Amino acid sequence: MSAKVESQVSLKPYNSFGIDVKARHFAQATSDDEVRQLLAYAATEDLPALVIGGGSNLLLTQDITALVIRMNSSGIHLLSDDGQRVVVEAEAGEAWHPFVQWTLEQGLVGLENLSLIPGTVGAAPMQNIGAYGVEIKDVFAGLTALDRQTGDLRDFTLEDCDFAYRDSYFKRKPGRWVILRVRFALSRTAALHLDYGPVRQRLAGIEQPTAKDVSEAICSIRREKLPDPAELGNAGSFFKNPVVSGVLAERIREQHPGLVAYPQADGEMKLAAGWLIEQAGWKGYRDGDAGVHALQALVLVNYGQASGEQLHELAQKIQDDVLDRFGVELEMEPNLY
Ligand code: EPU
């Protein structure tokens, strides 16, 4: 076997919360073959296998007895280019933001609004990452995944992935598929997505913004509000923005006229979870090293030595309080182990 399995490895460098738990068995996979070898090894050793990407959507609350397989494959290829529509394929282990920057360097439009999102290419479709009016589903051209039940490779189309807000077919079938590579339909000419107010404001002085200008604007907006995991452990938005009935949204608005809510196609309303959490008084809260970011209430942070359990307890307190005050259930975004 070419991949090396190590014992008792700290996962601190491999999760963006910086939580110090150990994996009893840990290996990095740089190719399809290594993924297969490691899964076969886990099967013969009777170990469950946990496949991770950049670890930016994980809350680790205990040592992991499974074989942790970190996807570390690399490679970016142009699959087709008709002068307008360009299909690019990237291996699962490629880091997301450098990949976005590579596409921008090639003059390609499509991923600029998704700049500076932590994590890897392979993890991006799992929860249909999104920001500033664009989700991965908007530029998705397909992916190849390994079926852990049969060992077969399968190509998935947009329809197969059944993407929804921070959700996909893969998220609903945890442990079944390993995403190996993802394809994106980009463009040399497409229009930019500037519907999000702060992005437009930031570009006000530029007459004909390029995709690179949009990317820079988005990086600067994100840097203002979202902590850099290299400096302060976090997993981005910790809760999804809850979608509630129009009736409930109205009832909340009567008590709280400042409610931030976005109408959905079917009459439901998506509420800004950060607003609810801030109104409930949690913004800037800190208990030991577990806290709520002072500039963005939707982001839980690890000031250094917080355990996953402490962060999980804090999350549960926030969920209980928001349910009590507003009758709204908050769903966690990161996967809990
Ligand atoms: N708000 C508050 N207080 C806060 C935070 C937010 O009142 O502490 C209000 C803001 O004033 C604003 C509204 O809530 O009116 C929405 O805030 P923001 O635009 O910052 O976006 P968000 O809903 O907090 C979502 C995504 C982010 C994405 C941004 C921009 C989710 C769960 N989060 O955040 O995604 O970057 O929109 O599109 O959908 C992530 O998923 O990890 C993530 C960072």
Pick from 302, 308, 298, 307: nearest CA to 332 = 298
CA 271 to ligand 1 centroid distance, Å: 10
Tokens 């963005």 map to which residue? Answer: 296
Query: Which residues lie across from 332 on neighbouring strands?
Result: 239
C-alpha separations of 233 from 17, 22, 244, 248, 283 in Å: 4, 17, 30, 34, 16
- Six-digit token string for 233: 């452990």
Contact by Cβ (8 Å): 145, 39: no
pLDDT in tens, 232-285: 999 999 999 999 999 999 999 999 999 999 999 899 999 999 999 999 999 999
Largest separation between any pair of C-alpha atoms in the chain: 63
Q: Do 274 and 201 form a contact (C-beta atoms < 8 A)? A: no
Query: Which of 298, 322, 332 gets mutated to test ligand 1 (max ligand atoms within 8 A of its CB)?
Result: 298
Look at ligand 1, atom 20, and give the residue with the nearest C-alpha: 296
pLDDT band per the 50, 70, 90 thresholds, residue 195: confident
Q: Cβ distance 41 to 5 under 8 Å? A: yes
Residues near 94 by Cβ (< 8 Å), separated by ≥ 6? 73, 74, 75, 76, 120, 121
Q: Mean pLDDT in the chain?
A: 96
- Domain residue ranges in the chain: 6-71, 76-225, 233-336
Token pair 């664009």 in the structure block, residue: 134
Q: How far apart are CA 35 and CA 3, in angstroms?
A: 9
Instruction: Decide: 27 and 35 in contact? Cβ < 8 Å.
Output: no
Beta bridge partners, 269, equal: 244, 263
CA 241 to ligand 1 centroid distance, Å: 8
Cβ atoms of 56 and 236 within 8 Å: the answer is: yes
Q: What is the pLDDT of residues 57-91, one digit of tens each?
A: 999 999 999 999 999 999 999 999 999 999 999 99
Its CATH architecture, for the domain 6-71, is: 2-Layer Sandwich (3.30)
Report the pLDDT value the prediction gives residue 189, as an integer from 0 to 100.
87
Could you tell me where the beta strands, DSSP code E, fall in the chain?
6-10, 22-29, 49-52, 58-59, 64-71, 76-81, 85-91, 130-131, 134-135, 140-147, 153-156, 177-187, 233-234, 243-244, 261-263, 269-271, 286-287, 290-292, 300-302, 335-336
- Residue among 222, 237, 260 to mutate when testing ligand 1 (max atoms within 8 A of CB): 237
Expressed in angstroms and rounded, the spacing between residue 142 Cα and the centre of ligand 1 is: 28
Into which CATH architecture does domain 233-336 fall? Alpha-Beta Complex (3.90)
Q: Please check the confidence at residue 1 and state whether its pLDDT lies above 90.
A: no
For residue 128, give the nearest of 171, 93, 96, 70 by alpha carbon: 171
* pTM, entire model: 0.96
With both helix axes pointing from N to C terminus, report the angle between 211-225 and 96-105 in degrees, rounded to the nearest 10: 150
What are the residue numbers of the active site? 166, 237, 333
Whether residue 190 is predicted with pLDDT greater than 90 in this model: the reply is: no
pLDDT of residue 88: 98
Strand, coil or helix: 83: coil
Rounded CA gap, 294 and 285, in Å? 8
Q: In the structure, which protein residues have their CB atom closer than 6 angstroms to any atom of ligand 1?
A: 131-132, 225, 236-237, 240-241, 260, 272, 274-275, 278, 283, 296-298, 333
CB 169 within 8 A of CB 67: no
For the residues of 230-261, what is the DSSP string, one character each? TTSEE-S-SBPPPEE-HHHHHHHHHH-TT--E
Report how far ligand 1's centroid is from the alpha carbon of 236 (Å): 10
Digit-coded pLDDT (tens) for 208-235: 999 999 999 999 999 999 999 999 999 9
Q: Which pLDDT tens digit goes with each residue over 16-43?
A: 999 999 999 999 999 999 999 999 999 9
Shortest-distance Cα residue to atom 36 of ligand 1: 131
Q: How confident is the model at residue 177 (pLDDT cuts 50, 70, 90)?
A: very high
CATH class of 76-225: alpha beta
For residues 130-150, average pLDDT: 96
- Give the ligand 1 atom nearest the CA of 132: 38
Which atom of ligand 1 lies closest to the CA of 225?
20
Q: Whose CA is nearest to atom 16 of ligand 1?
A: 272
Residue 13 confidence (pLDDT) above 90 = yes
